[in-house]
Structure 1
Amino acid sequence: MTDHHKEERPDVQAPDIIHKLVHDPDIFWHFALEVYGKPGVKDICLEAQNSFGADINLMLLYLWCDCHRVALPNETSVALGNTSHLWQTEILGPLREIRNGMKGGSGYREFLAQELEIEKRAQKALIACMSGVEVSETPLGARGQHLTSYAYECGLSEHLLSPLLAGAQQVVRPGVP
């Protein structure tokens, strides 16, 4: 096989990349912001959240794992789901309701900025679930498995994931977490 037929693989292996992520959660924050800013991604994420109850942070974390070929053990996925549920039902969901009631009113932008800081804390809580976890690399061709599984759990159709996957392809660079 010639070089132009090889799939480009990141220089960083799955366990190393998780170690870096756990020690620097801002890696994921920046990935999430960059992907979220790609055309169509915000709309799909908000539709997934508002119509299907999906957690955007968890969707983007699964996307990050898939892009970096990180295979998470089932127990970790369960822990991520439990953590997500707690943050969504106890903290972020109620904040969203308050913010939606404030639209157009005074203090809205300040409240939104505070909510984004709390979203960042929620991401750190999700990432903490991955600390010390033994991960492996997904086989070539198995990309998208975590995000696709989560989408199925939420009742999202796979066609809604296309903008997310396209946005991630524009963001992820080999060897860069």
Structure 2
Amino acid sequence: MNSKHVSVSLTLERLWQFSLQYYGVREVKDACLNLQNQFKGNVNLLLLLKWLDEQQAAFLDEDWHRVEECLGRSEALLHSYRDLRRKLKSHVPETLYRESLQFELQLEKQQQSDLVDCINSITLLHNQGEPLTLRYCRQLGGEHLHQAFAQPIEEVVPK
């Protein structure tokens, strides 16, 4: 990574729409859920990293902890809620379960808002090194999952 600064225009709505489109690809969704369930990864962080990869942007190594810390506020709540929703699945009517999924999506969007605020507060550089998604998968021990995230989005998501 060289030291050339990159200016990106990241908003919550831009990241959210990107995430909905990208996560809608079956292979991507499966890899995201595997990363989350088997490797304790954060899907919202991975989607942000993919968005940054698409912009050829990265942050300094010393900023990784800041980015991961910004998840702290919402991560425990999201995990607890997700566990509760899964336990309730077979015990509540389908309509109530769908409502619980919608509420979980609101929590996910709040977490993305925290990530956007964090990224917009740090210096981004032109990434000439490894993709951030690869680094994150490797950090979690799920490097083989990166294959699902390696394609540029225009090759994965039909226009």
Fold match by TM threshold 0.5: yes
Following superposition, the deviation at residue 78 of structure 1 comes to: 1.2
The alignment partner of 1:71 has SS state of strand
Does residue 111 (structure 1) correspond to residue 124 (structure 2)? The answer is no
Alpha-carbon contact 1:39-1:163 (below 8 Å) kept: no
The alignment partner of 1:136 has SS state of strand
Alpha-carbon contact 2:70-2:115 (below 8 Å) kept: yes
Following superposition, the deviation at residue 171 of structure 1 comes to: 6.2
Alpha-carbon contact 1:34-1:171 (below 8 Å) kept: no
Alpha-carbon contact 1:52-1:154 (below 8 Å) kept: yes
Does residue 162 (structure 1) correspond to residue 154 (structure 2)? The answer is no
Q: TM-score, normalised by structure 2?
A: 0.85
How many residue pairs align between the two structures?
150
Q: Classify 1:86/1:69 alpha carbon distance in 2 versus 1 (closer, same or farther; 3 Å).
A: same
Does residue 99 (structure 1) correspond to residue 85 (structure 2)? The answer is yes
**Deviating 4+ runs (over 6 angstroms):** none
Following superposition, the deviation at residue 131 of structure 1 comes to: 2.3
Q: Classify 1:31/1:171 alpha carbon distance in 2 versus 1 (closer, same or farther; 3 Å).
A: farther
How far apart, CA to CA, are the structure 1 residues paired with 2:13 and 2:122? Answer: 19
Following superposition, the deviation at residue 60 of structure 1 comes to: 1.0
Q: 1:150 aligns with which of 122, 136, 144?
A: 136
Q: Deviations over 1:13-32 (max 9, x none)?
A: 831x1xx21xx211011111
Q: Deviations over 1:135-173 (max 9, x none)?
A: 22112xx351x111111111102x31222233624368x
- Partner amino acid for 2:54? C
Q: Deviations over 1:40-86 (max 9, x none)?
A: 11111111101110000001111111111112123432111112244
Does residue 71 (structure 1) correspond to residue 58 (structure 2)? The answer is yes
Identity %: 29
Q: TM-score, normalised by structure 1?
A: 0.77
Structure 1 gaps of 5+ residues are 1-12, 173-177
Partner of 1:40: 27
Q: Deviations over 1:90-124 (max 9, x none)?
A: 21100110110121422111010011011000001
Structure 2 gaps of 5+ residues are none
How far apart, CA to CA, are the structure 2 residues paired with 1:61 and 1:137? Answer: 16
How far apart, CA to CA, are the structure 2 residues paired with 1:48 and 1:95? Answer: 18
Q: Considering only aligned residues, what root-mean-square deviation do their CA atoms show, in Å?
A: 2.0
How far apart, CA to CA, are the structure 2 residues paired with 1:40 and 1:167? Answer: 14
The alignment partner of 2:15 has SS state of helix
